[in-house]
Amino acid sequence: MSAAGQYETDVPEAPWDLLHPLLPKHTWTPGSRGRPPCPLRRVINGMLYVNKTGCQWRMRPKDFGPWETV
């Protein structure tokens, strides 16, 4: 998992504190159908990494989770 600050493109703590309440809440519950949610900060960091570096989705570091999710 990508720790905050591991990459230059990671969202710093202060902006994350402003952004996090605006993101949709998880509705999945254990035992229900579907996949469990992945950490939203990791997904956002992965999107920012690909946007900034211009790399292909499948070639970004695996720390950001599955490329299909990011």
**pLDDT tens for residues 33-44?**
888 888 899 999
| Gap between the Cα atoms of 51 and 55, Å rounded | 8
Which long-range contacts (C-beta less than 8 Å, at least 24 apart) are formed by 66-69? 66/38, 69/38, 69/43
**21 three-state secondary structure:** helix
In the chain, pLDDT over 90 holds for what percent of residues? 43
pLDDT in the model for residue 62: 85
pLDDT in the model for residue 44: 93
Between 2 and 61, the more confident residue is 61
